Amino acid sequence: SQMPLADSFGVGMRSKAMRRSKAMVIRCCRGLVVLAMLTEFWFQHASSSSFAQQSISAFRDREGTGVHESAMQDARNIEPSLTTADKIVLSSIANAGKAYDWPAARKIFSQYAGRATSVYSVAMTAAFRCKEYQAEIGRA
């Protein structure tokens, strides 16, 4: 009426292996559920501004470390003898540069016939801001 030792050993091993296997399946399922939840969270928030990648120039502008020029203030301090036309050109180029509109800034500058240093400076700043490092802004 007693089971042979080999049979009881085999049955005991089978039930331990089954329990371990069941525990491993449960752990894997829990891990998959957590992974699915994290993935869902990531995709829901990936398009929000906190996770979206932005250009370095936009980041620098937001952080206050970008190229900032107060063209009119600098012009008054450096060149107090600017004409009204120079001031209009200076302001127009500065605004086009702030809007990252290099074609507009270049067009305005190409029509400028004066020699005011501030106008050349703001044109170079606009080119830099618009990533037009090779732009032709000088004249012979």
Give, in order, the Cα–Cα distances in Å from 48 to each of 54, 61, 69, 73: 11, 19, 30, 37
Predicted local confidence at residue 140, as pLDDT: 39
Q: How confident is the model at residue 77 (pLDDT cuts 50, 70, 90)?
A: low
How many angstroms separate the CA atoms of 126 and 95, rounded? 9
Predicted local confidence at residue 69, as pLDDT: 54
Residue 4 is given by DSSP the state P
Comparing 45 with 102, the larger pLDDT belongs to 102
The reply to whether the predicted model has a pTM over 0.85 is no
Residue 31 pLDDT > 50: yes
**Residue 94 · residue 126 · CB < 8 Å:** yes
**Residue 126 · residue 137 · CB < 8 Å:** no
In tens, the pLDDT along 36-74 reads 888 877 777 665 555 556 677 676 666 655 655 555 455
Highest-scoring range by mean pLDDT, 5-9, 21-25, 28-32, 108-112: 108-112
**What letter represents residue 107's amino acid?**
K
CA nearest to 18, candidates 29, 7, 26 = 26
Instruction: Report the largest interatomic distance among the alpha carbons of the chain, rounded to a whole angstrom.
Output: 118
Residue 105 pLDDT > 90: yes
Residue 90: Cβ within 10 Å count: 27
Residue 135, token pair as written in the block: 């732009």
Predicted local confidence at residue 16, as pLDDT: 77
